[in-house]
Structure formats: C-alpha cells, structure tokens
A = this chain, B = another copy of it.
C-alpha cells in the first residue's frame, strides 16, 4: 500500500513510475525492485521501508544485493525509500550511503535518516540541466 502512495506522489511530480507485481508470485527467477521512477532519462530505483517512529533502519544483505543487480543492468541509481507512518514524509537514502553492519547487513542511522533526501530533491536530481553526480 505504501508503494502505491509513493508511486502516486512521484507521478504527480512528473515521473514515469512502475511498481513491481505483487510479491506473492511463485517463480522469482527475475529480481524486481519495489518501484522504479524515471524522469528525463534518469532512472531511480527504490526498495521501500516502513517505520513507525524515528529509529535506525536495518536492511537485509539480500535486499541490497537484489537492488544492486537491477542497478548494474539498468544503469540506474538506487535508494532506500523510507515512509515514517503517521507523517506525510518520504525520505530517500542513496544506496552507497548505507552503513554495513558486522553481520554483513546494512543500516541507516537516525542521524543519516534525518539528513536524507526528500521528494523535492529527487525532482531536482532528475531535472534536465543537472546530473545526479553534480547534485550528490
């Protein structure tokens, strides 16, 4: 459900968006991210996380590797999209800013979450006269 909310918000900002098919499907030979949003040829790829309060977020290694495989093929830029339930807010953490944990999984600290990107930043990143490299 939260994926749909993010898809609609990005659509309203001018992105072409596509959500993955329902995760119940049996044969998962193909790796799908939760959401892909494209604007002016710039490809943004998201895994979605939902939290109920501001706390560190943990992401399983497998989920990050799944995303990396999609990014390698597509040439896109990967983000963890975080919905803080109860707030209207979505925040975005670039994949290469995740901290690796001792167990080989990944983490976003509260500090990092609070300084992460907003939808308006994604709009700026995908505007015609700016490259993602310029921005980050």
| A residues lining the B interface (CB < 8 Å) | 7-8, 11, 14-22, 29-30, 32-33, 36, 38-41, 43, 70-71, 73-76
Contact = CB atoms under 8 A, between A and B. Distances in A.
Given A41-B43, A73-B38, A18 B18 contact: yes
11 contacts: A7-B30, A11-B30, A16-B70, A16-B74, A17-B32, A18-B20, A20-B21, A36-B38, A38-B43, A39-B74, A43-B43
A70 B10 CA distance: 13
Nearest to A72: B16
B39 A73 contact: yes
Contacts of A21: 19-22
A53 to B, nearest CB: 29
A39 B71 CA distance: 9
Given A21-B22, A41-B43, 16 more contacts: A8-B29, A8-B30, A16-B71, A17-B30, A18-B18, A18-B33, A18-B36, A19-B21, A19-B32, A36-B38, A38-B43, A38-B73, A38-B74, A38-B75, A39-B73, A41-B75
Contacts of A7: 30
B16 A29 contact: no
B41 A74 contact: yes
Nearest to A19: B21
